[in-house]
Amino acid sequence: EVKVEYNVDYTVYIMNDWIHHVETKDNKTDVFTFHIDQNTSTKTREGSLEILKDGAPKSETMTIKIVQAGANFGFKGETNFNITYEKQQLQVELAHDMDFSINQSNVPSWISIQTQKKDNKTSIFRIDVAENNNDSVREADIIAFSGSQISDTIHISQNYKPGLGFESENDTLSITSEAQNLELYVKHNVDFY
């Protein structure tokens, strides 16, 4: 609310489309009520409105500056995880003061996510990561977003299970006494000698 005392006619100019005048008038004192739209960006924004006496030069304008804080949205703490091949559970908190969702279509089947509300401004993500029995590192991004402009990402990189073995299940080879070449096929995803 902005209280204006006056003895002349005047006009109110709103300089930003996210500020709205709710009109009320009295005799010699006006109390203006302005509705400020929710800031859906994480950046602080500034706006202004001007009150100008009708017929007066621009130099007699009364300007009111409005500074609105940005939205609170983002993961707290570590967001880039480099983990071992073993089954694991990660826990991450998301600070927010608006509704959000998770892009489930990008979450691979080896990850499951449970979300619970800690309080009105914080949610907890419990992320279960299955054991990686593949021969390569696997990666995933978990994206929390609110609207089309605000998002934050957790990145998970999971190492593979180290392995070294012969292609044959039998580790004893019986050969004749004659000289011969012997081929061994080694399956591995680690360096060896």
Q: Is the pLDDT of residue 25 over 60?
A: no
For 125, phi and psi rounded to 5 degrees? -105, 120
Q: Is the pLDDT of residue 26 over 60?
A: no
CA 187 to chain centre: 41
The predicted structure's pLDDT at residue 27: 55
**pLDDT (average), residues 100-115:** 89
The predicted structure's pLDDT at residue 67: 92
* pTM of the predicted structure, to 2 decimals: 0.59
pLDDT one-digit tens code per residue, 39-89? 877 788 999 888 887 887 777 788 889 999 887 888 999 999 999 999 999
Contact 187, 169 (CB under 8 A): no
Q: Where are the beta strands (DSSP E) in 6-159?
A: 10-14, 19-22, 29-36, 45-53, 62-68, 73-76, 80-83, 88-96, 101-102, 111-119, 122-129, 138-146, 150-158
Q: Are strands 45-53 and 62-68 parallel, antiparallel or unpaired?
A: antiparallel
Comparing 124 with 42, the larger pLDDT belongs to 124
**pLDDT (average), residues 116-123:** 88
